[in-house]
Amino acid sequence: MYRIWFTVMLSDTKLRTLKPKDKAFKLADYDGLYIYVTPTGGRSWRFDYRYQGKRYTQTLGKYPDVSLADARSRLRDARSVLASGKNPHQEKQKEKILQREASTNTFGAIADEWYGAKEKLRSHAWREANALYLRRDLKPEIGSLPITEVSGPLLLSVIKKIGDKHGVKTAERVRQTAGQVFEYAIRQFKATANPGRALAQWTEIPAAEHRRPLTPKEIPGFIDAVGRYPGLPSTKNAVRLILLTFVRKSEATDATWDEFDFDNSLWIIPKERMKMQKPHIVPLSRQAIQILESMKPISGESKYVFPSNSTLEKPMSGSSINVMFQKMGYGGSFTPHGLRSTASTILNELGFGRDPVERQLAHTERDEIRAAYNHADYLPERKKMMQAWADYLDKLCGLKTAKKKQPSP
Protein backbone atom coordinates (compact mmCIF):
# COMPACT_ATOMS: atom_id res chain seq x y z
CA MET A 1 0.00 0.00 0.00
CA TYR A 2 1.16 3.52 -0.86
CA ARG A 3 0.74 6.30 1.68
CA ILE A 4 -0.31 9.75 0.41
CA TRP A 5 -0.02 12.85 2.56
CA PHE A 6 -2.81 15.06 1.25
CA THR A 7 -1.66 17.99 3.38
CA VAL A 8 1.60 18.19 1.44
CA MET A 9 1.75 20.91 -1.22
CA LEU A 10 4.51 20.22 -3.71
CA SER A 11 6.86 22.93 -4.92
CA ASP A 12 9.34 23.20 -7.78
CA THR A 13 12.22 23.10 -5.27
CA LYS A 14 10.93 19.90 -3.68
CA LEU A 15 10.40 18.28 -7.06
CA ARG A 16 13.93 19.11 -8.24
CA THR A 17 15.46 17.53 -5.12
CA LEU A 18 13.18 14.49 -5.10
CA LYS A 19 15.20 11.24 -4.82
CA PRO A 20 14.02 7.73 -5.77
CA LYS A 21 13.71 5.01 -3.14
CA ASP A 22 13.93 1.24 -3.12
CA LYS A 23 10.20 1.05 -3.72
CA ALA A 24 7.88 3.19 -5.75
CA PHE A 25 6.16 5.93 -3.79
CA LYS A 26 3.75 8.83 -4.15
CA LEU A 27 3.81 12.43 -3.02
CA ALA A 28 0.52 14.30 -3.02
CA ASP A 29 -0.07 17.82 -4.16
CA TYR A 30 -3.75 18.69 -3.72
CA ASP A 31 -7.22 17.71 -4.91
CA GLY A 32 -6.10 14.19 -5.80
CA LEU A 33 -3.03 15.16 -7.81
CA TYR A 34 0.19 13.36 -6.91
CA ILE A 35 3.57 12.50 -8.38
CA TYR A 36 4.50 8.84 -8.71
CA VAL A 37 8.23 8.04 -8.34
CA THR A 38 9.70 4.70 -9.46
CA PRO A 39 12.89 3.11 -8.08
CA THR A 40 14.64 3.96 -11.35
CA GLY A 41 13.85 7.67 -10.94
CA GLY A 42 10.90 7.89 -13.32
CA ARG A 43 8.36 10.53 -12.21
CA SER A 44 4.83 10.96 -13.55
CA TRP A 45 1.80 13.02 -12.58
CA ARG A 46 -1.29 11.01 -11.68
CA PHE A 47 -4.83 11.51 -10.54
CA ASP A 48 -7.08 8.90 -8.88
CA TYR A 49 -10.86 9.12 -9.17
CA ARG A 50 -14.00 7.02 -9.22
CA TYR A 51 -16.43 6.85 -12.15
CA GLN A 52 -19.67 4.90 -11.96
CA GLY A 53 -18.39 3.01 -8.95
CA LYS A 54 -15.08 2.01 -10.52
CA ARG A 55 -11.63 3.30 -9.59
CA TYR A 56 -9.47 4.84 -12.32
CA THR A 57 -5.99 6.33 -12.46
CA GLN A 58 -5.32 9.05 -15.00
CA THR A 59 -1.72 9.81 -15.99
CA LEU A 60 -1.28 13.51 -16.68
CA GLY A 61 2.27 13.46 -18.02
CA LYS A 62 5.86 12.98 -16.98
CA TYR A 63 7.93 15.34 -14.89
CA PRO A 64 9.90 17.50 -15.77
CA ASP A 65 8.32 17.52 -19.28
CA VAL A 66 5.08 18.53 -17.55
CA SER A 67 5.74 21.13 -14.90
CA LEU A 68 3.89 21.43 -11.57
CA ALA A 69 1.79 24.31 -12.93
CA ASP A 70 0.93 22.35 -16.09
CA ALA A 71 0.04 19.26 -14.05
CA ARG A 72 -2.37 21.31 -11.90
CA SER A 73 -3.91 22.76 -15.08
CA ARG A 74 -4.39 19.27 -16.52
CA LEU A 75 -5.94 18.16 -13.25
CA ARG A 76 -8.51 20.95 -13.51
CA ASP A 77 -9.30 19.87 -17.07
CA ALA A 78 -9.76 16.25 -15.96
CA ARG A 79 -11.98 17.34 -13.05
CA SER A 80 -14.05 19.39 -15.49
CA VAL A 81 -14.52 16.35 -17.76
CA LEU A 82 -15.54 14.27 -14.74
CA ALA A 83 -18.00 16.93 -13.62
CA SER A 84 -19.63 16.84 -17.08
CA GLY A 85 -20.49 13.17 -16.58
CA LYS A 86 -17.68 11.76 -18.75
CA ASN A 87 -14.78 9.49 -17.88
CA PRO A 88 -11.45 11.38 -18.19
CA HIS A 89 -9.59 8.14 -18.89
CA GLN A 90 -11.92 7.16 -21.73
CA GLU A 91 -11.87 10.65 -23.17
CA LYS A 92 -8.08 10.61 -23.20
CA GLN A 93 -8.10 7.25 -24.97
CA LYS A 94 -10.43 8.68 -27.62
CA GLU A 95 -8.12 11.65 -28.05
CA LYS A 96 -5.13 9.35 -28.52
CA ILE A 97 -6.99 7.35 -31.16
CA LEU A 98 -7.99 10.51 -33.00
CA GLN A 99 -4.42 11.84 -32.85
CA ARG A 100 -3.06 8.53 -34.12
CA GLU A 101 -5.62 8.51 -36.92
CA ALA A 102 -4.74 12.09 -37.79
CA SER A 103 -1.05 11.23 -38.07
CA THR A 104 -1.73 8.27 -40.39
CA ASN A 105 -4.61 9.84 -42.30
CA THR A 106 -2.42 12.02 -44.44
CA PHE A 107 -3.70 13.45 -47.70
CA GLY A 108 -1.35 11.12 -49.58
CA ALA A 109 -2.52 7.99 -47.76
CA ILE A 110 -6.20 8.81 -48.25
CA ALA A 111 -5.58 9.75 -51.89
CA ASP A 112 -4.09 6.30 -52.43
CA GLU A 113 -7.16 4.70 -50.80
CA TRP A 114 -9.46 6.74 -53.01
CA TYR A 115 -7.53 5.93 -56.17
CA GLY A 116 -7.36 2.23 -55.29
CA ALA A 117 -11.12 2.08 -54.79
CA LYS A 118 -11.75 3.69 -58.18
CA GLU A 119 -9.09 2.47 -60.59
CA LYS A 120 -10.57 -0.92 -61.48
CA LEU A 121 -13.84 0.69 -62.50
CA ARG A 122 -12.39 3.58 -64.50
CA SER A 123 -10.89 3.94 -67.95
CA HIS A 124 -7.18 3.97 -68.67
CA ALA A 125 -7.36 7.68 -69.46
CA TRP A 126 -8.92 8.39 -66.04
CA ARG A 127 -6.30 6.29 -64.25
CA GLU A 128 -3.44 7.87 -66.15
CA ALA A 129 -4.62 11.44 -65.60
CA ASN A 130 -5.47 11.16 -61.90
CA ALA A 131 -2.32 9.19 -61.10
CA LEU A 132 -0.34 12.01 -62.69
CA TYR A 133 -2.16 14.73 -60.76
CA LEU A 134 -1.56 12.92 -57.47
CA ARG A 135 2.06 11.97 -58.15
CA ARG A 136 3.26 15.18 -59.79
CA ASP A 137 1.07 17.93 -58.34
CA LEU A 138 -0.60 17.09 -55.04
CA LYS A 139 1.51 14.60 -53.09
CA PRO A 140 4.78 16.59 -53.26
CA GLU A 141 2.99 19.61 -51.79
CA ILE A 142 0.44 18.24 -49.29
CA GLY A 143 0.83 14.46 -49.36
CA SER A 144 2.55 14.20 -45.97
CA LEU A 145 0.08 16.47 -44.15
CA PRO A 146 -2.88 15.14 -42.15
CA ILE A 147 -5.85 15.70 -44.41
CA THR A 148 -7.60 17.70 -41.70
CA GLU A 149 -4.74 20.22 -41.81
CA VAL A 150 -5.06 20.91 -45.53
CA SER A 151 -7.00 24.16 -45.42
CA GLY A 152 -8.64 26.11 -48.21
CA PRO A 153 -5.89 28.77 -48.35
CA LEU A 154 -3.21 26.07 -48.43
CA LEU A 155 -4.89 24.12 -51.22
CA LEU A 156 -5.48 27.35 -53.15
CA SER A 157 -1.77 28.18 -53.03
CA VAL A 158 -1.00 24.70 -54.43
CA ILE A 159 -3.58 25.06 -57.20
CA LYS A 160 -2.25 28.50 -58.16
CA LYS A 161 1.27 27.13 -58.31
CA ILE A 162 0.09 24.38 -60.67
CA GLY A 163 -1.71 27.00 -62.77
CA ASP A 164 1.48 29.02 -63.15
CA LYS A 165 3.42 25.94 -64.22
CA HIS A 166 0.94 23.92 -66.28
CA GLY A 167 -1.93 26.31 -67.04
CA VAL A 168 -5.25 27.01 -65.35
CA LYS A 169 -7.10 24.21 -67.16
CA THR A 170 -4.72 21.61 -65.76
CA ALA A 171 -4.87 23.29 -62.34
CA GLU A 172 -8.67 23.07 -62.44
CA ARG A 173 -8.53 19.34 -63.20
CA VAL A 174 -6.12 18.88 -60.28
CA ARG A 175 -8.54 20.79 -58.04
CA GLN A 176 -11.32 18.44 -59.07
CA THR A 177 -9.14 15.43 -58.22
CA ALA A 178 -8.31 16.92 -54.80
CA GLY A 179 -12.01 17.59 -54.21
CA GLN A 180 -12.83 13.94 -54.87
CA VAL A 181 -10.16 12.85 -52.38
CA PHE A 182 -11.66 15.12 -49.70
CA GLU A 183 -15.16 13.88 -50.52
CA TYR A 184 -13.95 10.29 -50.04
CA ALA A 185 -12.31 11.26 -46.74
CA ILE A 186 -15.58 12.76 -45.50
CA ARG A 187 -17.48 9.56 -46.32
CA GLN A 188 -14.84 7.61 -44.39
CA PHE A 189 -15.18 9.98 -41.39
CA LYS A 190 -11.59 11.09 -41.83
CA ALA A 191 -12.40 14.71 -42.68
CA THR A 192 -15.25 17.11 -42.10
CA ALA A 193 -14.68 19.70 -44.83
CA ASN A 194 -13.90 19.72 -48.55
CA PRO A 195 -11.72 22.73 -49.46
CA GLY A 196 -11.52 21.42 -53.02
CA ARG A 197 -15.25 21.93 -53.45
CA ALA A 198 -15.07 25.36 -51.77
CA LEU A 199 -12.56 26.41 -54.47
CA ALA A 200 -14.89 25.49 -57.34
CA GLN A 201 -14.68 29.02 -58.76
CA TRP A 202 -11.12 29.83 -57.74
CA THR A 203 -10.46 31.52 -61.11
CA GLU A 204 -11.96 32.05 -64.55
CA ILE A 205 -11.41 28.95 -66.67
CA PRO A 206 -11.13 29.62 -70.43
CA ALA A 207 -13.84 27.94 -72.49
CA ALA A 208 -12.87 24.70 -74.18
CA GLU A 209 -11.58 25.08 -77.71
CA HIS A 210 -13.01 22.52 -80.10
CA ARG A 211 -10.50 21.85 -82.86
CA ARG A 212 -12.08 21.72 -86.27
CA PRO A 213 -12.05 18.41 -88.16
CA LEU A 214 -10.03 17.87 -91.30
CA THR A 215 -11.77 18.55 -94.57
CA PRO A 216 -11.75 15.90 -97.33
CA LYS A 217 -9.12 17.96 -99.16
CA GLU A 218 -6.87 17.96 -96.06
CA ILE A 219 -7.07 14.24 -95.34
CA PRO A 220 -4.60 13.09 -98.06
CA GLY A 221 -2.01 15.59 -96.83
CA PHE A 222 -2.44 14.32 -93.28
CA ILE A 223 -2.10 10.68 -94.31
CA ASP A 224 0.97 11.59 -96.37
CA ALA A 225 2.49 13.36 -93.34
CA VAL A 226 1.92 10.24 -91.24
CA GLY A 227 3.73 8.13 -93.84
CA ARG A 228 6.68 10.52 -94.01
CA TYR A 229 6.99 10.89 -90.24
CA PRO A 230 10.43 9.54 -89.19
CA GLY A 231 9.10 7.92 -86.03
CA LEU A 232 8.47 4.33 -85.03
CA PRO A 233 6.13 2.22 -87.20
CA SER A 234 4.02 1.42 -84.13
CA THR A 235 3.29 5.11 -83.52
CA LYS A 236 2.34 5.69 -87.15
CA ASN A 237 0.18 2.56 -87.27
CA ALA A 238 -1.62 3.56 -84.08
CA VAL A 239 -2.61 6.85 -85.73
CA ARG A 240 -3.71 5.04 -88.87
CA LEU A 241 -5.85 2.66 -86.81
CA ILE A 242 -7.47 5.58 -84.97
CA LEU A 243 -8.30 7.22 -88.29
CA LEU A 244 -9.85 3.98 -89.61
CA THR A 245 -11.79 3.09 -86.46
CA PHE A 246 -12.16 6.50 -84.74
CA VAL A 247 -11.59 5.04 -81.29
CA ARG A 248 -10.14 7.23 -78.56
CA LYS A 249 -6.37 7.54 -78.32
CA SER A 250 -6.00 5.43 -75.18
CA GLU A 251 -8.34 2.77 -76.57
CA ALA A 252 -5.90 2.30 -79.45
CA THR A 253 -2.58 2.58 -77.60
CA ASP A 254 -3.64 0.13 -74.88
CA ALA A 255 -5.18 -2.45 -77.24
CA THR A 256 -4.27 -6.08 -76.53
CA TRP A 257 -4.25 -8.90 -79.06
CA ASP A 258 -6.91 -10.90 -77.19
CA GLU A 259 -9.46 -8.15 -77.92
CA PHE A 260 -9.46 -8.93 -81.65
CA ASP A 261 -11.68 -11.48 -83.34
CA PHE A 262 -10.00 -11.81 -86.72
CA ASP A 263 -12.37 -14.53 -87.89
CA ASN A 264 -15.29 -12.10 -87.68
CA SER A 265 -13.30 -8.89 -88.28
CA LEU A 266 -14.28 -7.41 -84.92
CA TRP A 267 -12.45 -5.55 -82.19
CA ILE A 268 -14.19 -5.99 -78.83
CA ILE A 269 -12.93 -3.42 -76.33
CA PRO A 270 -13.81 -4.38 -72.71
CA LYS A 271 -15.77 -1.95 -70.59
CA GLU A 272 -12.81 -1.38 -68.24
CA ARG A 273 -11.02 0.45 -71.04
CA MET A 274 -13.98 2.51 -72.22
CA LYS A 275 -14.81 6.02 -71.06
CA MET A 276 -18.48 5.19 -70.54
CA GLN A 277 -17.74 1.85 -68.85
CA LYS A 278 -19.53 -0.19 -71.51
CA PRO A 279 -17.94 -2.76 -73.85
CA HIS A 280 -17.54 -1.47 -77.38
CA ILE A 281 -17.57 -3.47 -80.63
CA VAL A 282 -15.57 -2.04 -83.53
CA PRO A 283 -16.11 -3.59 -86.99
CA LEU A 284 -12.76 -3.86 -88.76
CA SER A 285 -12.28 -2.95 -92.38
CA ARG A 286 -9.84 -4.83 -94.58
CA GLN A 287 -7.45 -1.89 -94.28
CA ALA A 288 -7.61 -1.96 -90.45
CA ILE A 289 -6.84 -5.68 -90.43
CA GLN A 290 -3.85 -5.08 -92.70
CA ILE A 291 -2.47 -2.60 -90.17
CA LEU A 292 -2.96 -5.08 -87.32
CA GLU A 293 -1.29 -7.87 -89.31
CA SER A 294 1.68 -5.60 -89.95
CA MET A 295 2.04 -5.05 -86.20
CA LYS A 296 2.33 -8.75 -85.30
CA PRO A 297 6.04 -9.09 -86.08
CA ILE A 298 6.72 -5.69 -84.50
CA SER A 299 4.97 -6.38 -81.19
CA GLY A 300 6.61 -9.80 -80.93
CA GLU A 301 5.70 -11.59 -77.69
CA SER A 302 3.97 -8.57 -76.18
CA LYS A 303 0.29 -8.83 -75.32
CA TYR A 304 -0.06 -5.25 -76.55
CA VAL A 305 -0.60 -4.43 -80.21
CA PHE A 306 1.41 -1.23 -79.77
CA PRO A 307 3.98 -1.98 -77.05
CA SER A 308 6.25 0.58 -75.49
CA ASN A 309 9.60 1.11 -77.17
CA SER A 310 11.38 0.45 -73.86
CA THR A 311 9.55 -2.68 -72.70
CA LEU A 312 7.12 -5.23 -74.13
CA GLU A 313 5.35 -5.35 -70.77
CA LYS A 314 3.70 -1.94 -71.20
CA PRO A 315 1.73 -0.24 -73.96
CA MET A 316 3.06 2.75 -75.83
CA SER A 317 2.44 6.12 -74.22
CA GLY A 318 -0.30 8.31 -75.64
CA SER A 319 2.14 11.21 -75.46
CA SER A 320 4.07 9.62 -78.34
CA ILE A 321 1.12 10.38 -80.61
CA ASN A 322 0.86 13.93 -79.26
CA VAL A 323 4.56 14.48 -80.02
CA MET A 324 4.04 13.06 -83.49
CA PHE A 325 1.25 15.54 -84.22
CA GLN A 326 3.43 18.39 -83.01
CA LYS A 327 6.37 17.37 -85.19
CA MET A 328 4.12 16.90 -88.24
CA GLY A 329 3.00 20.51 -87.84
CA TYR A 330 -0.50 19.84 -86.51
CA GLY A 331 0.15 20.89 -82.91
CA GLY A 332 -2.45 23.38 -81.72
CA SER A 333 -4.56 23.07 -84.88
CA PHE A 334 -5.52 19.40 -84.98
CA THR A 335 -5.37 16.82 -82.20
CA PRO A 336 -5.62 13.00 -82.17
CA HIS A 337 -9.16 13.41 -80.86
CA GLY A 338 -9.92 15.40 -83.99
CA LEU A 339 -9.70 12.20 -86.04
CA ARG A 340 -12.98 11.16 -84.43
CA SER A 341 -14.76 14.38 -85.32
CA THR A 342 -13.31 14.20 -88.85
CA ALA A 343 -14.84 10.77 -89.42
CA SER A 344 -18.13 11.76 -87.79
CA THR A 345 -18.50 14.93 -89.86
CA ILE A 346 -17.74 13.33 -93.20
CA LEU A 347 -19.81 10.17 -92.62
CA ASN A 348 -22.82 12.30 -91.74
CA GLU A 349 -22.26 14.33 -94.91
CA LEU A 350 -22.03 11.10 -96.93
CA GLY A 351 -25.50 10.13 -95.74
CA PHE A 352 -24.80 7.53 -93.07
CA GLY A 353 -27.37 7.65 -90.29
CA ARG A 354 -26.76 9.49 -87.06
CA ASP A 355 -27.32 6.41 -84.92
CA PRO A 356 -24.67 4.15 -86.51
CA VAL A 357 -22.13 6.98 -86.43
CA GLU A 358 -22.83 7.85 -82.80
CA ARG A 359 -22.74 4.18 -81.82
CA GLN A 360 -19.42 3.76 -83.57
CA LEU A 361 -18.07 6.73 -81.61
CA ALA A 362 -19.25 5.00 -78.40
CA HIS A 363 -21.30 8.06 -77.50
CA THR A 364 -24.19 7.70 -75.08
CA GLU A 365 -27.69 8.83 -75.97
CA ARG A 366 -28.35 12.20 -74.32
CA ASP A 367 -32.11 11.90 -74.74
CA GLU A 368 -32.96 9.67 -71.77
CA ILE A 369 -36.37 8.67 -73.12
CA ARG A 370 -34.91 7.77 -76.51
CA ALA A 371 -32.06 5.89 -74.84
CA ALA A 372 -34.53 3.79 -72.84
CA TYR A 373 -36.06 2.44 -76.05
CA ASN A 374 -33.04 2.46 -78.31
CA HIS A 375 -30.92 -0.61 -77.53
CA ALA A 376 -29.89 -1.28 -81.13
CA ASP A 377 -26.21 -1.90 -81.73
CA TYR A 378 -26.45 -1.19 -85.50
CA LEU A 379 -23.68 -3.71 -86.11
CA PRO A 380 -24.66 -4.66 -89.71
CA GLU A 381 -24.91 -0.97 -90.66
CA ARG A 382 -21.65 -0.17 -88.92
CA LYS A 383 -19.81 -2.98 -90.71
CA LYS A 384 -20.81 -1.51 -94.06
CA MET A 385 -20.04 2.01 -92.86
CA MET A 386 -16.55 1.18 -91.60
CA GLN A 387 -15.55 -0.52 -94.85
CA ALA A 388 -17.03 2.36 -96.83
CA TRP A 389 -15.03 4.82 -94.70
CA ALA A 390 -11.75 2.95 -95.28
CA ASP A 391 -12.45 2.78 -99.04
CA TYR A 392 -13.31 6.48 -99.02
CA LEU A 393 -9.92 7.31 -97.48
CA ASP A 394 -8.15 5.14 -100.05
CA LYS A 395 -10.05 6.90 -102.83
CA LEU A 396 -9.07 10.36 -101.51
CA CYS A 397 -5.41 9.40 -101.39
CA GLY A 398 -5.66 7.71 -104.79
CA LEU A 399 -7.08 10.86 -106.36
CA LYS A 400 -4.25 12.93 -104.95
CA THR A 401 -1.67 10.46 -106.28
CA ALA A 402 -3.32 10.41 -109.68
CA LYS A 403 -3.25 14.23 -109.85
CA LYS A 404 0.45 14.23 -109.00
CA LYS A 405 1.20 11.79 -111.85
CA GLN A 406 -0.62 13.81 -114.55
CA PRO A 407 1.91 15.26 -117.00
CA SER A 408 2.12 18.98 -117.41
CA PRO A 409 0.42 20.37 -120.56
Enzyme catalytic residues:
248, 275, 337, 340, 363, 373
Residues 6+ apart with CB under 8 A from 295: 233, 234, 237, 305, 306
Q: For the chain, how many residues are written? A: 409
Q: End-to-end CA distance of the chain, in Å? A: 122
Q: What residue type is assigned to position 396 of the chain? A: L
d(CA 388, CA 249): 22
Contact 159, 171 (CB under 8 A): yes
Contact 21, 39 (CB under 8 A): yes
Complete edge-to-edge strand list for the sheet that includes strand 43-51:
25-28, 33-37, 43-51, 54-62
d(CA 222, CA 397): 10
SS3 content of the chain, % helix, strand, coil (to 5): 55, 10, 35
Q: 269 pairs with which residues across the strands? A: 280
d(CA 315, CA 244): 20
Q: Beta-carbon neighbour count of residue 226 at 10 Å?
A: 18
Contact 105, 185 (CB under 8 A): yes
d(CA 154, CA 196): 11
Residues 6+ apart with CB under 8 A from 307: 234, 299, 300, 313, 314, 315, 316
Bond into 216 cis (ω within 30): no
